[in-house]
Amino acid sequence: MAGKGAQKKLSANAIKEQVQRIQKAIQQQKRENKGEHFTSLTPEEIEKKLKRVNSPIIVSQGWNSTTPGGTINYNLGIFNPDPVQAIWMFAHVWVGSGNIDPVVGTFLLNVDTRFPRLTQPAFDGLTLAPGASTTLSYSLTVASTVEKTNYIGNSCLMQFNWHDVGTYLDRGVFVFAVS
């Protein structure tokens, strides 16, 4: 399965080149962002992520706030720094306070059931060429009965293996207002 464990130790020059490529992808995602809020990786955060085992990585997020009964539009920017194509990836988005939980299994279970849980893309998942990036877009419906306050959204990037255990790749968190 391409991508799983494919990331090799990168030289300082290779990391510098990847940081520049990822910053370019982030700038494109920022220009395309239609939400009120946008977060992205700093060069230092990119370098740290490039030194770990699992990739592709989440590089940016954009979203809006809303009112009860409205919709949160959430965009998730993903980049493949690996020298090989990454396949069978999905991103799962939900509301809950799990981001600080370092255990992936319980992180994924921390769910506010008043909100939908959404997964993209359709079968057979996302494929990203080496050095490629993409943005996945989600629309989370907000019930008209929720309290007016801030809520914590989560995203989890995963790579599936259709006949064995998949791989946790990365996570993101965003805070949105319902007012």
Q: Please tell me the predicted confidence (pLDDT) of residue 4.
A: 45
Encode pLDDT of 106-163 as tens digits: 999 999 999 999 999 999 999 999 999 999 999 999 999 999 999 999 999 999 999 9
Mean pLDDT of 16-45: 92
Question: DSSP secondary structure string, 112-170?
Answer: -TTS--EEES-TT-EEE-TT-EEEEEEEEE--TTS-SEEEEEEEEEEE--TTS--EEEE
Encode pLDDT of 105-114 as tens digits: 899 999 999 9
Residues 6 and 83: beta-carbon distance below 8 Å: yes
- Whether residue 35 is predicted with pLDDT greater than 60 in this model: the reply is yes
Nearest one of 80, 147, 83, 154 to 116, comparing CA atoms: 154
Distance CA 152, CA 4 (A): 29
pTM of the model: 0.90
> In the chain, where are the structural domains located?
12-178
Distance CA 44, CA 52 (A): 13
Domain 12-178: which CATH number of 2.60.40.10, 2.40.40.20, 2.40.30.10, 3.40.50.300: 2.60.40.10
